[in-house]
Amino acid sequence: MKNIIISSLLLLQLIIAADDTPPNVIIIYADDLGYGDLSCYGATKVHTPRIDSLAQDGRKFTDGHSPSSVCTPSRYSLLTGEYPFRKGLYSPIFLRNKLIMPEKTYTIADMMKENGYQTGIIGKWHLGFQTKVPVDWNAPLKPGPLELGFDYYYGVPTVNSHPPFVYVENHHVVGHVYDQNSPDYDPFDYALAAGRQGYTQEVPEKMHLSAIGGAKEAHAQYKDYEVGLHLAGKTIDWIEQNKEDPFFLILSTTHIHHPFTPAPQFQGTSDAGLYGDFLHELDHIVGMILDKLEDEGLSDNTMVIFTADNGAMMNHTAQEAYTHQEHRPNGRLLGAKSDGWEGGHRVPFLVKWPSKIPQGTVSDQLISATDLLPTLASLTGAQIPTSASPDGVDMSEAFIGNPQQQIREHLISTPLRRDFLVLRQGEWVYLDGRGSSGWNAPAGRHTLSGPNLAHFLGDLNSDLEGKAISPSAAPAQLYDLSQDLSQTTNLYHEHPERANEMKALLQTLKNKSKK
C-alpha cells in the first residue's frame, strides 16, 4: 500500500508540473445551502443544471463538510485553515461586531497574493470590521478584507437578513457621504433605530428600519430583489478587469440565506416555492460565471470550487417548501443549520478544473473547507509558512488524483452552541453530548432545528421522544454513517470502547494547537 501511495503522489506532481501556467481559482461559497438542495445531489423539485455541470465536468464529493454549522465560524476557517472553536468562534456576528481576527492573521488570500495572484472577494463578508465595538459606520471600515490579503472587496457587510443593508466597496459604504461638512452628510446613527420590526417574506424591506438609522442614500442603493444579480455583475466585471493575470476570487453569495428574494424572472420557476426560485437564481449566477470564463477562454485553466458555509436553514419558507412541495433541503440527513448532526455541516462540494480533474468523477473522501488553504498551496505551487493552516489537510490528491484510502484521518465540526464538538473518524461520528447543540427553537418560530425539526420532518432518532431528548438518552452520541447516514440509532452503549476512544481523541485534538 505504501508503494501505491508514493506512486500516486509522484503522478500528482507530474500532472501539476505538466503545465507551468498557474490556474485561476474561483471559490463560490454559497450561504445556507443544504445537501439536498441541488439536483446533482438528489433534489427533484428544483433544477440546477449549471451547478450540476460542475459535477459533470469535474468531481463531486459526497462527504464534504463545512467547518461549522453556522456562517461566521465557517468563513473564518475557510480563510485561515483553522478550526473555529480554537478561537472561541461558535456564533454569527452582526453589525456592531469588530473584525474577529487580527490583521496579522495569515489567510488563503495572503497565500495567493504572495504567489502572484490578483485577489478579490465579492458578496457576503460577515467577519466584522475595525478594531473596536461598536463599529463606526461613518468611518472607513478598516481593517477589513483588504488587510487580510484581498486586493478588492465589494459586497454585503453582514448578511442579507440584518442591517445595515448597504454595499461596501473596499473600506467604504457605497453611496455614503463621509464629509461631515457636506450638506449631504447623513450619518449612520444607532440612536435613530426604529426598533426591531421583523419582516415578512412579502415585505423584506421592513427589516431596513431596524437597528441603525440614517444614511438614506447608501440604503437606497440596496434593493433586495436585485442583490444576487448585482453581485454577479460585479463578479463578471472583476474577472474582466483581472483576466490577464492569474486571479483568485471568492464569490460569497447571499443565496440562499433568507429572506428569499429572487429577481422577478426567477419567481415561480421551481416546484418548491420561493425557496426553490432562489435556488434557481443561484444556479443562474453560477452559469453567468461559467459563461464568462468560457467567453474569455479561461475555462480550461480555471479551477472552480463550489461549496457552502453550512447546511440549510429550516425557516418558514424552507418549511413551506417541504410541507407543500416535498422538497427536503438537507436530503435524508438529520438536522439543519446550527446542528451538530449531519444536516448542519454536510454540504455540497464540487470542483471543476478541466485540464486536470477527470470529468464526471465522484469522490467519497472526507473533506472540509478548512482544507482549501493547504490544498490550493499544493495545486498552485505556493509556499506557505509552517504555522499556516493548523487544521487544514492537503487534499490535492483527492482533487486531481484517485487515492484508494482516506487522506484525512479525522475531522472536527463545530455546532452553534458550546455544549460539544463533533468528531468524524472513518465512517464513525462521535458527538460529545446530547441532542444537536443547535437552536432548537419551538415550532412556530422563525426557524426549526434539533429535536423540534426532527419531529416536524418525521425523522427518527433513538435519543428523541417527540420534540425532546429522552431522559434515558446516552450522555453522548455515536453513529456508524456507513450503515446509518440518517443517524437514526445512537450506538454509544453498543460500542463503548469506540465511544471512549473517540472521546479521548477529541480531547487530544482540542488540546493541540496544530494537527
3-state helix, strand, coil in the chain (%, to 5): 35, 15, 50
* Arch. (CATH architecture) of 411-511: 2-Layer Sandwich (3.30)
Task: Give the rounded percent of residues in the chain with a pLDDT score beyond 90.
Answer: 87
Residue 132 φ then ψ, to 5°:
-130, 155
Q: Tell me what the mean pLDDT of segment 391-400 comes to.
A: 98
Contact 344, 310 (CB under 8 A): yes
C-alpha cell belonging to residue 217:
442614500
Strands (E) across 72-227 are located at 118-123, 152-155, 168-169, 172-173
Per-residue pLDDT, 190: 85
Does residue 256 have a cis bond before it (omega within 30 degrees)? Answer: yes
pLDDT digits (tens, 9 = 90+) for 71-92: 999 999 999 999 999 999 999 9
Among the listed residues 241, 171, 192, the one whose alpha carbon sits nearest the alpha carbon of residue 233: 241
Per-residue pLDDT, 335: 97
C-alpha cell belonging to residue 151:
486586493
Report DSSP letters for 3-59, one per residue.
Answer: HHHHHHHHHHHHHHHT--SPPEEEEEEESS--TTSSGGGT-SSS--HHHHHHHHSSE
Q: Which residues pair with 154 in a beta bridge?
A: 122, 169
* Predicted TM-score (pTM) of this structure: 0.94
Per-residue pLDDT, 214: 87
- What distance in Å separates the CA atoms of residue 484 and residue 46, rounded to the nearest whole number? 26
Per-residue pLDDT, 191: 75
Burial (CB < 10 A; 0-12, 13-18, 19+), residue 264, is: exposed
Q: Tell me what the mean pLDDT of segment 305-311 comes to.
A: 98
Backbone Cα Rg of the chain: 22
Per-residue pLDDT, 446: 78
- What distance in Å separates the CA atoms of residue 506 and residue 515, rounded to the nearest whole number? 12
Show the CA angle centred on residue 190, arms to residues 186 and 196, nearest 5°: 120
Contacts of 14 (CB under 8 A, 6+ apart): none
- What distance in Å separates the CA atoms of residue 408 and residue 394, rounded to the nearest whole number? 9
pLDDT digits (tens, 9 = 90+) for 151-182: 999 999 999 998 899 999 999 999 999 999 99
Judge: domain 22-310+347-398, CATH 3.30.420.40: no
Per-residue pLDDT, 512: 83
- What distance in Å separates the CA atoms of residue 404 and residue 440, rounded to the nearest whole number? 39
Per-residue pLDDT, 89: 97
Average pLDDT, the chain: 92
Per-residue pLDDT, 211: 57
Query: Does 353 score more than 90 pLDDT?
Result: yes
pLDDT digits (tens, 9 = 90+) for 426-482: 999 999 999 999 997 776 667 899 999 999 999 999 999 999 999 999 999 999 999
Per-residue pLDDT, 513: 58
Position 355 confidence tier, pLDDT thresholds 50, 70, 90: confident
Query: Does 16 score more than 80 pLDDT?
Result: no
Per-residue pLDDT, 204: 59
Taking the CA atoms of 455, 456, 460 and 461 in sequence, report the sign of the dihedral they define.
negative
- Cell 473517540 identifies what position? 502
Per-residue pLDDT, 6: 42
Position 9 confidence tier, pLDDT thresholds 50, 70, 90: very low
Query: Does 275 score more than 50 pLDDT?
Result: yes
H or E, element range at 349: strand 349-352
C-alpha cell belonging to residue 191:
440612536
pLDDT digits (tens, 9 = 90+) for 241-269: 999 999 999 999 999 999 999 999 999 99
Q: Tell me what the mean pLDDT of segment 486-501 comes to.
A: 98
Helix residue ranges per DSSP H, 207-255: 216-220, 227-242
Segments of the chain assigned to CATH 3.30.1120.10? 411-511
Position 5 confidence tier, pLDDT thresholds 50, 70, 90: very low
Contacts of 41 (CB under 8 A, 6+ apart): 35, 60, 331, 348
pLDDT digits (tens, 9 = 90+) for 19-57: 578 999 999 999 999 999 999 999 999 999 999 999 999
Query: Does 200 score more than 80 pLDDT?
Result: no
Segments of the chain assigned to CATH 3.40.720.10? 22-310+347-398
Q: What is the 3-state secondary structure (H, E, C) of 449-506?
A: CHHHHHHHHCCCCCCEECCEECCCCCCCEEEECCCCCCCCCCCCCCCHHHHHHHHHHH
Q: Tell me what the mean pLDDT of segment 317-329 comes to.
A: 95
Other CB atoms within a 10 A radius of the CB of residue 51 amount to: 27
Per-residue pLDDT, 69: 98
Query: Does 195 score more than 60 pLDDT?
Result: no
C-alpha cell belonging to residue 62:
459526497
Contact 205, 224 (CB under 8 A): yes
Q: Tell me what the mean pLDDT of segment 86-110 comes to.
A: 96
